[in-house]
Amino acid sequence: MDFEITHSTLYTYGQPAAEAYGEARLTPPDLPTQRLLNHGIQIDPETPTSRYIDHFGNTVDFFSLPYRHRKLSVVNRMMVRTFPMQLPMENLELSVQETRQIFASALPAIFEYLQPTEIVQIGSNAVQWAKKYLSGGTSLYTGLDRLNQAIFDHFIYKKGSTDFSTTLAEVWKGGKGVCQDFAHVALSVLRTAGLPSRYVCGYIETDPAPDGAGKLIGAIATHAWVEVLVPGMRWVALDPTNRQWVNERYVTVSYGRDAGDASPLRGTFKGSGGQRMQVKVFMKRRAEKLEKVRT
């Protein structure tokens, strides 16, 4: 499938900002499940960027605006082709305990994906769910599928019910949140169970698919899901917000231990007033006949 994607972010300042600095993690990587066909980031006021690869393998474009400005616009445009995803079923048939034993010899390479973070805390709820859904004798596939289902059933998706300052304990207690919260809950349980896991930020096709697949749950912004490392050093992806394994309707953009690491845009500004942020994502599938002309 080919998707045209436009991701627009507009910062409006209460008073003109004296300067601003930012990092954009907005370049989708080439993966076995996706290929970046074209891509461009437009910043207004116009300013040059410098590029580097961060610790998690994300492409980062750094920019600075060392002068006064009232607004900052970042528009990310791209064309991405996605491919069918094949789950490594032989690896997923292993038990959780066997998986932990296999990964014991690879601890230095996966250590950070097993640890709690300031955002993804380990608590009593995560311990109980890890015992219930990811006990040692449970197969990886069964355990992951049941956990995905449990998060979908237990938590209510409600836009605006949480923000970046909401703690994971508050999400557990309130029983509601957005895709970012669903992903953090999953990571907390997975790491408690000793399974290396990471946060994924990207885009999803929220409109009903032409092939009859239903509408996916997600805001008009970026989406979040999780990936779990399985034996054979393969990452498998699940979306607890939509109760499914990730498929061709998803486009990966960035990774990290949590939402802070994978944030599409982050930075700081200097000024006497506050700021307002508006985000819109438009993702459109190209028509079948157009795809055939190009290939």
Say yes or no: do domains 2-82+263-294 and 89-262 share a fold: no
What is the CATH architecture of 2-82+263-294? Answer: Sandwich (2.60)
Q: Where exactly are the structural domains of the chain?
A: 2-82+263-294, 89-262
What's residue 291's pLDDT?
A: 44
Structure confidence by residue, pLDDT tens digits, 145-176 = 999 999 999 999 998 889 888 999 999 999 99
pTM of the model: 0.93
CA distance 18 to 26: 25
Q: How far is CA 241 from its chain centroid?
A: 12
Region of poorest pLDDT, from 54-58, 126-130, 159-163: 159-163
| Domain over 89-262 is classified CATH 3.40.50.510 | no
**What is the band of 273 on the pLDDT scale with cuts at 50, 70, 90?**
confident
| Of 92, 26, 11, nearest in space to 254 by CA | 26
| Of 62, 58, 54, nearest in space to 31 by CA | 58
What's residue 212's pLDDT?
A: 57
Q: How far is CA 139 from its chain centroid?
A: 25
Structure confidence by residue, pLDDT tens digits, 22-47 = 999 999 999 999 999 999 999 999 99
Structure confidence by residue, pLDDT tens digits, 2-23 = 999 999 999 999 899 999 999 9
Going by the DSSP 8-state scheme, the letter that residue 105 receives in this structure is: G
Structure confidence by residue, pLDDT tens digits, 227-258 = 999 999 999 999 999 999 999 999 999 999 99
